[in-house]
Amino acid sequence: MSTDVAVRVSGLAKSFVRETRGRASVVPVLGDVTFEIARAEFVSIVGPSGCGKTSLLRSVAGLLDVDAGTIEVDGKAVTGPGRERAVVFQDFALLPWASSLDNVAFGLKLQGVGRAERRRRARAALEMVGLDGFADALPHELSGGMRQRVGIARALSVDPDVLLMDEPFGSLDEITRRSMQEELLRIWERDKKTVLFITHSVEEALFLSDRVLVMGGKPGRVVETLTPELPRPRTRSQESSEAFTSMRDKIWETLAC
């Protein structure tokens, strides 16, 4: 495997057993999903609800066993969660009883990092996402955008090679969502983590990504791969450019098929 491939997914398939009125039936969710993500590449997966995006991300995270195919991260087969990957969850998944600082430090704690070191790293991560004044706040005391910043800080604090983001801005209002997209790009430009980003939003995928994988079909698979020819750093003015709008239209056409 070439060293600049961070994530390789080959022939991935996954089905779920659904029980309705006492009868079990097999529902295929993913069928023969294959793609690669280069190191430091920002790849988004866009697709309609139920096409298997989240199942795909959970598989790469090692949270879901697959029926067929392989997943490799940094050349090693994924058989469960691993330190080289960190997940940012759609619903934030913050511990409601813990402060922002303790939430960020939680991942480090699970990885056996000592108290002083994990608090130092957690403070640095909170500072990176602009929440250094909110270390003691509980999740319910923060706005949705701030909660997701804590989620991002938690993922970054463990310094993963690959950041897996499952519709992280899906539950935010449009204004907060756009501001968080810009914030994410600012953070990503700093140390260029490899990112797999799941989203419903075509515009979000194009604004953030080096490459956009369009998923569709039942069972879900990658039906189109597009590379936005937009220079970095990205700016909002690019959203009205010809390159952006033509690619957006192409994705919509693909999704409509």
Partner 1 sequence: MLTPGSRRRLLPRGPLALQALGLVVGLALWELIGALHLISWFPSLHAVLGRVGELAAQGKLQEPLVQSVTNLVVGYLVSVVAGIVIGTLMAVSKYVNFALRVYVDALMAAPSIMLVPVLYVLFGLSSFTLIAVIVLYASVFIMVNTRNAVAGASSALHDMARSFGAGPVAAFFWVTVRSAGPEILSGLRLGMGRAVKGMFNGELFIAVFGLAALDKSYEGAFDTTGILAVAVVVIVLAVVLSTIVEFANRRLNGWALSPS
The binding site for partner 1 (CB under 8 A) comprises 58, 61-63, 81-83, 85-87, 89, 91, 93, 95-97, 106-107, 110-111, 133-134, 136-138, 140-143, 146, 158
Of 25 and 111, which CB lies nearer to partner 1 in the complex structure?
Answer: 111
159 residue type, one letter: D
Cβ neighbour number for residue 166 with a 10 Å cutoff: 22
The string of DSSP codes covering 234-251 is: --GGGGGSHHHHHHHHHH
Minimal distance in Å, beta carbon 46 to partner 1? 22
CB of 36 to partner 1, least distance (A): 22
Q: Could you tell me if 238 and 232 are in contact, meaning their C-beta atoms sit under 8 angstroms apart?
A: no
Q: How far is the CB of 135 from partner 1 (least distance, A)?
A: 8
Residue number with CB closer to partner 1 (47 or 107): 107
Q: CB-wise, 62 or 217, nearer to partner 1?
A: 62
First-to-last alpha carbon distance for the chain, in angstroms, is 34
**Which C-beta is closer to partner 1: that of 49 or that of 240?**
49
How many angstroms separate the CA atoms of 169 and 198, rounded?
10
Quick one: 96 or 231, whose CB is closer to partner 1?
96
Contact 164, 86 (CB under 8 A): yes
Quick check: 45 and 213 in contact, CB under 8 A? yes
Min separation Cβ 184 and partner 1, Å: 19
Report the nearest approach of partner 1 to the CB of residue 62 (Å): 8
- ω into residue 139 within 30 of 0, thus cis? no
